[in-house]
Structure 1
Amino acid sequence: MNKLFIATGLAMAFLTSCSKNSEETQVTPAPTEESVSGNVEGVWKKGNTYKVTGHLQIAEGKSLTIEEGVTVLMSDSIVKPEILIRGNLYSMGTTANPVKFTVPDAWKTAANNFGNLWGGLIAGPTNTELVLSNTVLEYGGAVTTEESPSVKAQLYKAKAGEHVPVLYTSNTGSKIVVANSTIRHFNEDGFYLEGGKVLIMNNTFHTTGVSGGEAINIKSGVQAEVAFNVIYSPNTNALKLSNAGDKTPQAYIVAYNNTIVNAGWRRPTIKGGSIWLEKTVRADVYNTLLVNDRFGIKRDKGAPEDTRSVIANNFYYGYTQTGVDQFQPSTEIVKGTNDILSTKAGENDPKLVNYPLSTSSMNSSYDSSWDFHLQTGSPALGKGKTDFTRLYANGLSVNGVTYTSPAPGSYIGALGTK
């Protein structure tokens, strides 16, 4: 019996030792590359590259989760793939390892600065959840053809010859979160939203729109919060807020603590140039830092916003007299409560940490060294409004995670002091 106990003990010690050694020598699998097209679902694993060789679809009732560090490489220059989302999509990057929807590096030339190399994310009426967290989307916005999934499904504008947006939504009951992400190098609109409970926060938009297009274009059927976003040089408006489409519920947007720079000047015809309000949209707009934009917050006089809308505590700066003149209050330009604006070029310098205020209004190139934080002593500090009601202060639950809209800043703009 003693010998048996000793033998058993030695065997257990040996097995434990092997287990520990196995754990200590475990190696993380090397990243792999896989070609994909057609229907997709399941999990795209951390750090891998998925080479897209045709249109993709997430079928109704199915989900695709994309883990951190994944590269979704749009590699078909003929088809220019769209991603049709009938089910759910969860793109879950991290600050250190974002998910990237991109194209081969060789395609990233000056000639392709506004993308047009793949389509976009088209969420159909059976989509119920969509998350883009710490995700980079770039070089898309291709024009539709008769063979495009969005045209065949009668989604977006449902016809050939239209540049698709980065993201399109259509289900009023869907829940959409876009957070800590970057949208850049797209041909026209960034987001074109025709349905959903939507939370857009802490994102950066730049280099979007060749001859038209808004960074965020919202229609009826959407209830959205848009907060703490930096939007640089959209072709037309940073935010186009409209109740067009006559869906229920009425479009209601609470937009606060956004920074909008150089908006609207590149549009060949005159329309908006910062934030556009129309067709009985209900819009509450607070704490917006508007720097060198073509116009102030502008309404469609023939179809104005809902009278319950609230505009307050926005800050305007213009480097040129033309810019300053075009944000002065009028029947079209909305003057909000406690808005801060000057009448002379160069007054009310917001004191940005690193952005040349003399940058050409026609510039669309984004310099990653720019810093839109506020310096100590900025007149935008301490001027923000914080006592208003947010739509998702208690959270929006998506895929088991609760996303809460950020508390408003006491400053104006997306970024306070460092």
Structure 2
Amino acid sequence: MKNYLLIGSAFLATSLFMACGDDEVISNEDPVNPGTDDDDDDNTQVDESTIIWPADTVVTLTEHYTVPEGKSLIIKEGAQIIVSTQGVGANHIPVEFTVDGNLYCEGTAEKPIRFSIAEEDRKAENIFQEDYMWGGIVATETCQEMLIDHTIIEYTGAQVIEGSPAATAGIYTAGDDAYPQITTYNMNGKYVITNSVLRNGWSDGIYMMGGQAIIANNTFAANGWDGAEAVNVKAGCQVDVAGNVMYSPNTNGLKLSSSGQSENRGQAKVQAYNNTIINAGWRRDGEKGGCIYVEKNVLANVFNNLMVNCKFRAMTPSFSIPNNPEEGYDDSSVIDYNFYASGSQKSEITFPDESGVAYAWEGYNYEHEDYNVGVVDLNSVIATKDDLKDPMFVNYDVNGVSLTNYIYDENWDFSVKAGSPVLSGAYSGSDANMQPYFGANGLTVNGETYVSPAIQPWFGAYGE
């Protein structure tokens, strides 16, 4: 294993990897010699615009890191990017991983890539603690492509402050925003996020303000301390979201909106199907959403999803004022054929001055002003007090795990047993308007074509 300390942000400093030995400290003050030839070193500069961080490399970031526009960084399997939580400069600006160029994270199931903090600080009690957070990955307006495959991203969500690169770039507002784990901003960008784990972050798991994307077969856990989602989509995006497990998002698993739509930034379009969302909405201070939230002219087809112990059903606020980027969703959307399961346990957190909802089944059947009754979830399966609709998971106690729990147990198995009710009654996936945007031609990133998962004839991410 090779260990490197990056104490500067210049991309070309990584070209020094070609000639460095184990445990060498790298500084961007050192001369750059991209022509160095060292047959004993696995580090590779493919050309003047591409750098590879080799398999099993350990990179420590103590300052902001930027992949410049027109450059590409490829990170190979098993690499670890350990980010300092001390911050940068006298103001301790949270370390940010900025992608102005292209980023390709090529992990494997056996050797995932990890973006994290020091191993000794990765403790349950440090989740959501400001002293143990870094910024996150910010793909800016000039990022053309990004692949996040078999990659763990955790302990993000530090506050954006004066001097933060994302604030300087106008992406976030200093003092008002916290870093998501992944941000996208280029509406012409192509992004594939698959087979990855996005967990333990103060803010959203993925916040998309632009681009075409496949978000598939990921695990999201403990996304958001107060008012955040697993996946948050805005105007300028076309996205397939499928096959994901979203465990204990603070507010929603999916927040889908065309907020920011203009003559230059097009309508958000989302196909969200075969996802499993668990324990959404209970940890939020106050009530807004609770599993799926669709608004502001987004065209969203949301179907064959499995919601378990979520606080509410799918919401479409201002649905009486549709097709309006300031109000309700695009009323040609289909939000139906979903499955809402409930356990018998009561939440430790309730808001008597609002809904007073304390059980998942109670929230599903609450007369909420944002439920578009008779249109949204017309054919969905919805638990009641007397019929909780147990999905029969292989290994997860639907009635025992606290509704406010956010610690993910790797031993859980959200596949279902034979005879589970989620295996029948789902939408067949035959209509043209319901097809994945990238199911036929896919998205080509770094020369490889990635295809969205096919629609499965069951509810949730997994069958038997």
Deviation of 1:114 after TM superposition, in Å, equals 2.4
Aligned twin of 2:419: 377
Aligned twin of 1:186: 201
> What is the distance in 2 between the residues matched to 1:269 and 1:392?
37
Deviation of 1:362 after TM superposition, in Å, equals 1.2
Correspondence list, 1:158-237, <5 A: 158-237=173-252
Among 301, 304, 307, the residue aligned to 2:331: 307
1:138 and 1:183 in contact (8 A); partners too: yes
Deviation of 1:379 after TM superposition, in Å, equals 0.6
Give the 3-state SS of the residue equivalent to 1:111 in structure 2: helix
Aligned twin of 2:409: 367
243-252 vs 42-51, which moves further: 243-252
Aligned twin of 1:118: 134
> What is the distance in 2 between the residues matched to 1:169 and 1:51?
24
Aligned twin of 1:263: 280
> What is the distance in 1 between the residues matched to 2:435 and 2:119?
44
Aligned twin of 1:411: 458
Deviation of 1:337 after TM superposition, in Å, equals 4.1
> What is the distance in 2 between the residues matched to 1:76 and 1:240?
29
Q: Deviations over 1:54-86 (max 9, x none)?
A: 100111111111011100111352333101111
Deviation of 1:314 after TM superposition, in Å, equals 0.5
Deviation of 1:408 after TM superposition, in Å, equals 1.0
Aligned twin of 1:353: 394
Aligned twin of 1:327: 364
Alignment gaps of 5+ in structure 2: 13-50, 89-93, 322-326, 345-357
Give the 3-state SS of the residue equivalent to 1:372 in structure 2: strand
Q: Deviations over 1:344-387 (max 9, x none)?
A: 25521111111111221111111111111111000110322222
> What is the distance in 1 between the residues matched to 2:152 and 2:124?
19
> What is the distance in 2 between the residues matched to 1:295 and 1:222?
26
> What is the distance in 2 between the residues matched to 1:406 and 1:148?
36
Aligned twin of 1:106: 120
Give the 3-state SS of the residue equivalent to 1:238 in structure 2: strand
Q: Deviations over 1:124-178 (max 9, x none)?
A: 11111011000000111111121211111111x2323521101111111000100
What one-letter code is carried by the residue in structure 2 that aligns with 1:397?
A: T
Count of residues paired in the alignment: 386
Deviation of 1:46 after TM superposition, in Å, equals 0.8
Aligned twin of 2:16: none
Give the 3-state SS of the residue equivalent to 2:462 in structure 1: coil
Among 377, 386, 400, the residue aligned to 2:447: 400
Change (3 A) 1:78 1:345: farther
What one-letter code is carried by the residue in structure 2 that aligns with 1:354?
A: N
Q: Deviations over 1:181-234 (max 9, x none)?
A: 000111111111100001100000001211221111100000000000000010
1:229 and 1:259 in contact (8 A); partners too: yes
Deviation of 1:40 after TM superposition, in Å, equals 2.2
Among 10, 18, 21, the residue aligned to 1:39: 10
What one-letter code is carried by the residue in structure 1 that aligns with 2:3?
A: E
> What is the distance in 2 between the residues matched to 1:342 and 1:169?
36
> What is the distance in 1 between the residues matched to 2:257 and 2:238?
11
Q: Deviations over 1:302-345 (max 9, x none)?
A: 62210110122110112247321322376522432421113325
378-387 vs 176-185, which moves further: 378-387
Correspondence list, 1:248-259, <5 A: 248-259=265-276
Larger radius of gyration: 1
2:316 and 2:328 in contact (8 A); partners too: yes
2:62 and 2:87 in contact (8 A); partners too: no
**TM-score, with normalisation over the residues of structure 1?**
0.89
Aligned twin of 1:138: 154
Change (3 A) 1:182 1:389: same
What one-letter code is carried by the residue in structure 1 that aligns with 2:389?
A: N
> What is the distance in 2 between the residues matched to 1:78 and 1:172?
30
Among 437, 440, 451, the residue aligned to 1:391: 437
2:256 and 2:298 in contact (8 A); partners too: yes
What one-letter code is carried by the residue in structure 2 that aligns with 1:39?
A: A
2:63 and 2:87 in contact (8 A); partners too: no
Give the 3-state SS of the residue equivalent to 1:268 in structure 2: coil
Structure 1 vs Structure 2 CA RMSD: 1.6
What one-letter code is carried by the residue in structure 1 that aligns with 2:9?
A: G
1:327 and 1:333 in contact (8 A); partners too: no
Deviation of 1:38 after TM superposition, in Å, equals 0.5
**Alignment of 1:316 onto 2:316:** no
72-81 vs 346-355, which moves further: 72-81
Runs of 4+ that moved beyond 6 A:
none
